[in-house]
Structures are given as structure tokens and as C-alpha cells.
Amino acid sequence: MSLRDFFSLHREELLRACKTELDGKTNIEQLARELSELLDQATSEDQPESAPNALALLGEDAAIKRVRAALEQLTHRSRIPVLFLGEVGTGKRHAARLLHESTYPDGEFFELKNDGQLPLLERRLAALRVPSSRQAIGGLSVFVNELSEASRATQAVLARLLAEHGLRFRLLASSRLPLAHACREGLLRSDLAFGFSTVVELPNLRDRVTDLPLLLAHFDAHGERGSRAPLVFSEAALLALASHPWPGNLLELSQLVERLQRLGEPGPIEPLHLTELGHRRSGMVVNLPPNGIDLANLERELLLQALTLADNNRTRAARLLGLTRDQIRYRMGKLEMASGN
């Protein structure tokens, strides 16, 4: 959707919202901030994705074929809330966008990232409830990444939205944890968990390594290639990649391809170019040396590795370490490390 089309579609909603705020003597700076957020969201929808949404369905493994079949069925069931379940980097957000685009091709994909966006969401829903605008709007998908990490205020709004009827609207969410587990841990409202009875599970990369050549070619083709020839992997390199556990899944693979592109080796990629993979193997057994270790330095090193893998994003780094965002922020502060995003 272009920026011009967005304003044409939401003109009355924006004018009505501004009038309401001004009549209520709302602070002008606050109104400007909200309109700025609205503009940011509108313009971001016109920017190309770093990895196209089709990535979520790329592959010939049986597991990814099941995902494609599930999304095709859900396209025609436009009001059913859907949870995308999977580890970090499996493409949950891309899959959600694909479902939105196939269900509401002329609608809006609204990603609810924090409580500050709740007023914007309410305005979009208010426009949907106006009979004269229902057909013009073309449908709305609301996406919440990592549902169990959403605030209580956001969870309350989402639980109420599950009861909405008669609107061109669908609630989408992702989670790396089964919702039943999140409820037991006190992270999620049970009524919200029960509302997501339809679950699409995204497979781990380590369970479909036969798709690696296809995925490597995809990331290489969509990277900063310039005049460089496509990356070529030796048989030994492909075997090394297939034996890696891929804790970061597609996200980790895309970052690996970016680093190999910057490396600019003239010949085929060999195992010696992939030595960094050995530093991130899961299930590693650690033996305490007889002379002991410096636990603070070890913790610092693990945090640095997680932040590097997560492109300095604290939320993603926390997931790689099995921590919450607050826990990783606390540890970074304790170790006097520079703050990430």
C-alpha cells in the first residue's frame, strides 16, 4: 500500500481522531507523536523486506509443505485467530504476513509492538466498526510477536478483541513457547491462550537440512551481491552446514550468508570459512577446569556472542540464552556492558 493510498483510505479516520483529541484539549506534542507513529507505520509498509515473506514457505521438506497446506486452508477462514509456533528465526513473522496478504490483499498488516500503539489500534478498529468504511478498508490483520512477552495491558486488549464479530479482522501471533507452558509460568492469560486454538508450527532448520542449498541460494540472491558471482559451497562445506544445530535457524543462516558475502572469497566456500559455527553448538558439555573459571568473564562472553548473533537486538539475544529481555538487561548492567536495542 502506498503512502498516498494509505492517507486516502484513512483520511476521515485521521481527521476524526485529530478533532477528538483537540476538542479534549490533548497535548499537541502527544498528538504529534501519535501521528508520527502512524506515519512511520505507513511508510514502513512501502519498504522492501530484508528477506521476502515467501522465505517462510521456501523448501521441499515435508514439514514446510505441511505449513504451506495449512496456510492455504486458513486463507479462506479469515476470522480465525492463528498462532505461529516455532524457535527463534524460523520465519514466524514472514508466515503471518503471507497469511495476511493472501486473506486481505488490500488490507492492512498492523504489528502491535508495544503499549504505545494501543491507541492507534483502537482507531483502526473503530473505523472497521463504521458500516460505510468496512468495505473500503479491505480488512485488518493484527500481529503480536512473542505473545507470552506482551504486557498485561496488551494482553487485556487482545483478549477483548478475540470476542469481536462481524469485522474483516484477524488476530495473528507468534510464540517460541507453547501457550500452555506460558500460562503455567504466569506469562500469559489463560483466556488469551484458549483463543488461539489454531496453531501453525514452523519447522526448525536442523530438521530440514535437505533444504539448505535452496535456502543458501535464496539468501545469496537477495543479499548485497553487486557484481560478485554467486556463492559456491563445496561438498565438505555443505556437510559441515548440515551437521550444525542452527539455534538461530533461518535468521542465523541469513547472517552467515551476509558474512560470507563480505568475505569475498574467489573460490568455493570450504569448511575453513565456517569455523565460527563451532562456537555456537547446542547441547555442549562444559567441564570445569581444575583451577576454576572467571564466571563473570564467561557470562560476558556468552552475552557478547548472543548479541552478535542477534544483530545487537536484546530481545532476540535473550531468547538465544533462554532469558527474558529484562534479565539480559540486568546482566548487561551488572557487567557494565554497552546497551543494545
Ordered by start, the domain boundaries in the chain are: 48-201, 206-280, 295-334
Q: What are 329-336's contacts with CB under 8 Å, separation 24+? A: 331/299, 331/303, 332/303, 335/296, 335/299, 335/300, 335/303
Say if CB 187 and CB 149 are below 8 A apart.
yes
Task: Enumerate residues 6+ apart whose C-beta is below 8 A from 283.
Answer: 245
Give the pLDDT band of residue 27 (cuts 50, 70, 90): low
For domain 206-280, which architecture applies? Orthogonal Bundle (1.10)
Task: Enumerate residues 6+ apart whose C-beta is below 8 A from 231.
Answer: 216, 220, 257, 260, 261, 269
Q: Which residue has the higher pLDDT, 302 or 174?
A: 174
Q: What is the pTM of this model?
A: 0.68
The closest alpha carbon to 10, from 157, 169, 130, belongs to 130
Q: The CATH number of 48-201 is which of 3.40.50.300, 3.20.20.70, 2.40.50.220, 1.10.10.10?
A: 3.40.50.300
Task: Enumerate residues 6+ apart whose C-beta is below 8 A from 338.
Answer: 332
> What pLDDT digit, counting tens, does each position of 44-77 carry?
444 334 345 566 688 999 999 999 999 999 998 8
**DSSP, residue by residue, 110-158:** EE--SGGGHHHHHHHHHHHHSHHHHHHH--EEEEESSGGGS-HHHHHHH
Q: Provide the pLDDT for residue 264.
A: 76
Residue 335 per-residue DSSP state: T
For domain 295-334, which architecture applies? Orthogonal Bundle (1.10)
Say if CB 171 and CB 160 are below 8 A apart.
no
> What pLDDT digit, counting tens, does each position of 282-335 carry?
444 455 566 677 777 788 888 888 888 877 888 878 878 877 777 788 788 777
